[in-house]
Amino acid sequence: MIKKPMKSTLLLTACLSLLMASSAFAADGKELYNTKGCAGCHGADAKTPVAPLYPKIAGQSKEYIEQQIKDIKSGARSNGQSAAMKAVLVSVTDDEITALADYLSGL
């Protein structure tokens, strides 16, 4: 038989473990940039795109990057090369968009 204080301790431990695990699994912007194929067009450093039509995205503000990605994903932005990006963004979550924006704004 488990005593009440033990149940509380177990519950608290479980909650803390979940909180720590969620931050441990937080998206890594640099890894996402490479695995989602961003570097293939925008360059490994996000400053040297492979074609003049692709923008340099390193160092832009986090809010700007995040909004542009969301607009392309939703279709609100459909100019330039956004059609190519839209196909890639289908598998990118909002949390991953935020992680990418954090990473790119810090370059």
Structure tokens at 12: 């608290």
For position 80, what pLDDT does the model report?
Answer: 80
For position 84, what pLDDT does the model report?
Answer: 87
Q: Which residue has the tokens 């100019």?
A: 79
pTM of this prediction?
A: 0.74
Please list the pLDDT of the chain residue by residue as tens digits (107 residues). 454 555 555 444 444 444 443 333 457 999 999 999 999 999 999 999 999 989 999 999 999 999 999 999 999 999 888 888 999 999 999 999 999 999 999 99
69 with 97: CB under 8 angstroms?
yes
Query: Considering just the CA atoms, what is the radius of gyration of the chain in Å?
Result: 19
Topology (CATH level 3) of domain 26-105: Cytochrome Bc1 Complex; Chain D, domain 2 (1.10.760)
Taking CA atoms, 86 is separated from 44, 56, 81, 95, in Å, by 20, 18, 9, 17
For position 27, what pLDDT does the model report?
Answer: 79
The SS3 assignment for 5 reads helix
